[in-house]
Amino acid sequence: MSPPPDRPLRILHAVRAPVGGIFRHILDLANGQADRGYQVGILADSLTGGERAEKALAAIAPRLKLGVHRLAIRREPSATDGLVWAQFMRLIRRLRPDVLHGHGAKAGAFIRLRPRSKSAIRVYTPHGGSLHYPPETFKGAFYSRLERALMGNTDLFLFESAFARDTYQRIIGTPKSVVRCVFNGVTADEFDPVRKADDATDLAYVGEFRHIKGADLLIDAVARLHAEGKRLTLTLAGDGEETATLKAQVEKLRLTHSVRFIGHVKARDGFAKGRLLVVPSRGDSMPYVVIEAGAAGIPMVAARVGGIPEIFGSHGESLFAPSDIAAMADAIKSALEDPAAMLVRAEALRERIFVHFSQDAMVEGVLAGYRDAFATFSNARK
């Protein structure tokens, strides 16, 4: 198995839900690979993503030699999975990709259910996915068995953090194939400073409204601070499956005059809406919102969870214990009481992001992983 010597690689990225950080990662990767002359395509679920996904895919489509393709891929195991997989295999036969790169658990499974090919490698980036489920739960046990069954069908594991790699090896096992860690990265213009909005609140949250992202924990922390006499205000920028639940929580805690919802906005627009960004995640691998905020020099406190400490490196003073409302409230209070110190920390983190988390480094790291996988399996056949 070796890359074609006389033409650019043909690369197909597959993902179930075209939303959030995983989708941003694929778009950045596809753009970077297209810039380098590779022939790239994207396959994504047609049931999720809405208008934002449609616009993003329409914008990148002219650059993708292998095109944009949508299939109805359900989140949970479904009776329709067999039909979707058959459609997926027909598409692969038509496109003839050299690299099949599955992102997330569902697309990663479809990619790796394809029999080994003499001319194509199967690449898997979990992006957290099934690894977020505790192995002692029913779902966790099911997904762990599925991951073990597919481990041998994977030519290259690309993890976006050492945390994700180590979690995979602890829960699933140690792969015998090529394993590489490549950090997510941001573009040069994301290092430009963000001007605070005239109506900026004390705090801001930017991201999806999902249980794992912890927006409900942040609301509870604000309620705790109010009870202590600190009447802080909060902007929640995002949307998702928990929107109605979060609004009901705000009303129940009588925070409607202190907490506002502004819907989904671009990350930098969300950053402008608060003087301190709070990242309250219960679990995360390598969240883009932290890298984006760090690049822009945004004062920030975040949960010490997943790959977030890898982003902060030695600048971890702003991290608090995950799922700990008291610890989050204390971190917020300390940050707001010493804004000068927070600005110094933000600038130090910005410099670290500039060195270690660029889009160019991410794209080159992924391409180097592809080359290593081709070389490894070429040598194994000799």
The per-residue pLDDT for 256 is: 97
For residue 211, what are the CA distances in angstroms to 48, 178, 282, 325?
18, 33, 8, 15
What whole-number distance in Å separates Cα of residue 25 and Cα of residue 170?
25
What's the pLDDT at 78? 87
What string of pLDDT tens digits covers the 382 residues of the chain? Answer: 566 666 799 999 999 999 988 999 999 999 999 999 999 999 999 999 999 999 999 999 999 999 999 999 998 888 899 999 999 999 999 999 999 999 999 999 999 998 888 889 999 999 876 666 677 787 778 888 989 999 999 999 999 999 999 999 999 999 999 999 999 999 999 999 999 999 999 999 999 999 999 999 999 999 999 999 999 999 999 999 999 999 999 999 999 999 999 999 999 999 999 999 999 999 888 999 999 999 999 999 999 999 999 999 988 999 999 999 999 999 999 999 999 999 999 999 999 999 999 999 999 999 999 999 999 876 655 5
Closest CA to 9 of 49, 37, 46: 37
Backbone angles phi, psi at 181, to 5 degrees: -105, 125
C-alpha 207: how far from its chain's center? 11
**Burial class (CB within 10 angstroms; exposed 0-12, middle 13-18, buried 19+) of 55:** exposed
Structural domains in the chain, sorted by start? 10-185+358-380 (3.40.50.2000), 188-356 (3.40.50.2000)
**pLDDT by residue (tens digit) across 268-292?**
999 999 999 999 999 888 999 999 9
DSSP letter string over 125-144? E--SGGGGS-TTSHHHHHHH
pTM, two decimals, is 0.86
Map residue 224 onto helix, strand or coil.
helix
205 in helix, strand or coil? Answer: strand
